Amino acid sequence: MTEVINRHLRSYHEQYWYAKNVLEKFLEISNTKSLSICEVGPAEGGALKYFAEKGHRCYGVEFSEVRYNNSKFLNAKKDIHFVKGDITEPDTYMPQIGSPVDIIICRDVIEHIDTDQKFIGLQNMSNLLKPGGKMFISFPPKYSPYAGHQQVAPKILVKLPYLHLLPDRIYIRYLSIMGMRVSSGQGLLDTKHKRLSIRNFEKMIATLHLNTNKRELFLIRPCYESRFHLRRMKAPFSKNMVLREYFTLGALYCLTK
């Protein structure tokens, strides 16, 4: 039996909520016919559980061993095909999925892929998508207040917005002074190095000839409605190519092939 920690259980319920209250509308999924849906980085698989209940054929490609085991355990009674794989290596997932899908979901995952592998990951997602299919991508932009994911740290003074913009040497020293373990501090530093800007993301999708069907930039992200009971709010300065990088906490895209 797999033991799922409380933090991951909360994520599981939020994933289900997000599929119902954000993804379904954002991607204009009507549920009138069965679609093939693949989520890259489904974690506990809550979103796929929602879509499976609507009659869709669901696949999940999960890199983390822990989250993969969580997804298998929590969705044991659902007809969802979870694969322990890496989106940058098609041989790890294509044999199990078999053919391109109608919809790909990649929610807050691309910023965790190594910088030199991001384009490959996006290219592989494009290859996995049927012509005319839809791809959902979301991420916190590189210079936004919490792009370093420091909000997950247990120490209050490590949760400060924009803290990750400090130079590496000062950043890691500050984390040490705040009592962060070396492994935890290195994890935050790794995340800092993998961040992705709106500008660079849009350059990559243009190179791949993916069309932006919809783009929404948020100051208060939709998931905060579930997490903190805060109403979502669009980002200010969304038309300013510099300021939007600093004042967008979540960038959401619906791309078509």
Note the pLDDT tens digit of each residue in 28-44.
Answer: 998 899 999 999 999 99
Residue 3: its pLDDT value, please? Answer: 80
Say how many domains are in the chain.
Answer: 2
Q: Is residue 1 part of a domain?
A: no
- The reply to whether 117 and 233 lie within a common domain is yes
- Degrees, nearest 5: CA angle 115-129-93: 65
Q: Are 199 and 245 in contact (CB under 8 A)?
A: yes
Q: Could you give the CA distance from residue 43 to residue 64 in angstroms, rounded to a whole number?
A: 8
Name the residue range of residue 246's domain.
6-143+195-256
Cross-strand partners of 107: 138
Q: Could you give the CA distance from residue 26 to residue 130 in angstroms, rounded to a whole number?
A: 19
- The reply to whether 80 and 127 lie within a common domain is yes
Share of the chain above pLDDT 70, in %: 99
Q: How many residues does the chain have?
A: 257
Q: Which of 194, 209, 206, 69 is nearest to 139 (CA)?
A: 194
Residue 1: its pLDDT value, please? Answer: 47
Q: Which of 221, 223, 166, 172 is nearest to 21 (CA)?
A: 223
Share of the chain above pLDDT 90, in %: 96
- The reply to whether 114 and 237 lie within a common domain is yes
Phi, psi values for residue 156, rounded to 5°? -60, -45
Q: Is residue 252 part of a domain?
A: yes
pLDDT higher than 70, residue 227: yes
Residue 2: its pLDDT value, please? Answer: 64
pLDDT higher than 80, residue 92: yes
